[in-house]
Structure 1
């Protein structure tokens, strides 16, 4: 299995290729986050390919602000299903 850093670099490269925007990598204490701004127009093939890339991350999301939209993906830091499930 690839290291979190290797996975993050690969995601950043895919995000950059698919969006035409430079992806930013943030190394946090327990995980690595890759963030990319979404262009105003993204064709269906690129949009679907971006969703496939996001699904390969441990966690991912989409933020929309007055400045535009971004997607982010995180790798490392434990199992995403475990992190999302509260203790019962």
Structure 2
């Protein structure tokens, strides 16, 4: 059995970045996820825990969470590289 899945840790909830501009992503200015992705990963995490308790496989859901995280990080990386080029 794999270790229980935990949602990404956040330190504070805010709708603006430290510079005062609106944040276009997750709960903190360091988080690459947007609110939709955070909600998805939390919901999937709850489903994973429920399935683990029932002894059912969770690999498909864990892969989905990993894919969401990878897409969010890739989007953030491309955003950061495009800012550097300017």
The alignment's TM-score, normalised by the length of structure 2, stands at 0.38
**Structure richer in strand, relative to its length:** 1
1 or 2, which has the higher helix percentage? 2
Higher relative contact order (CA 8 A, sep 6+): 1
Between structure 1 and structure 2, the one with the greater Rg is: 2
